[in-house]
């Protein structure tokens, strides 16, 4: 069983390559609220739906003080294609060795079509300006998740 984060836990720091070829560190976002969402694979139907929902809500999330970052085990080159294909307007970070996903409890055993498999557990983390976990949501659905998150954050 993968250890899961809970509200009040320190968010594991990271510095990872992005879809643009730069690197992004969680420490660079201190002082801002961050929505870090983990998804299994770029350019798959569910992950595309979720990314586009975040993209379409980005202006209002940013207006409310949130930055959005997507994390997956995809290589930066695939993330760049995803960004270009779907006009993703927030950073996508690459965790090819899955160490950050594991630190967040977002990589491990999960149920997929009735079978137990090891992979990315679709999850969302709201991180406060001091770098602490405000919300840790595991096994979220790709469709409708952003709308539910917006309601839970009091934005809708």
Sign of the C-alpha dihedral, residues 20, 25, 26, 28? negative
Catalytic-residue membership of 47: yes
Strand, coil or helix: what is 126? strand
**Contact residues for 104 (Cβ-Cβ < 8 A; gap 6+):** 5, 11, 12, 36, 38, 123, 125, 136
Q: Which of 29, 35, 36, 47 is catalytic?
A: 47
**Contact residues for 74 (Cβ-Cβ < 8 A; gap 6+):** 41, 42, 82, 92, 94, 96
Residues acting as catalytic residues: 47
């Amino acid at each position: 069983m993968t250890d899961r984060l809970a509200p009040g836990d320190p968010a594991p720091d990271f510095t990872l390559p992005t879809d643009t070829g730069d690197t992004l560190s969680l420490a660079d976002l201190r002082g801002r609220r961050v929505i870090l969402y983990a998804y299994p694979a770029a350019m798959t139907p569910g992950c595309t739906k979720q990314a586009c929902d975040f993209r379409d809500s980005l202006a209002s999330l940013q207006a409310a003080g949130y930055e959005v970052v997507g994390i997956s085990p995809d290589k930066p080159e695939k993330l760049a294609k995803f960004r270009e294909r779907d006009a993703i307007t927030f950073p996508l970070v690459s965790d090819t060795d899955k160490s950050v996903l594991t630190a967040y409890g977002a990589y491990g055993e999960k149920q997929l079509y009735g079978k137990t498999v090891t992979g990315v557990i679709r999850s969302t983390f709201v991180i406060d300006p001091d770098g602490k976990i405000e919300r840790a949501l595991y096994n979220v659905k790709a469709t409708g998740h952003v709308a539910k998150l917006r309601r839970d954050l009091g934005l809708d």
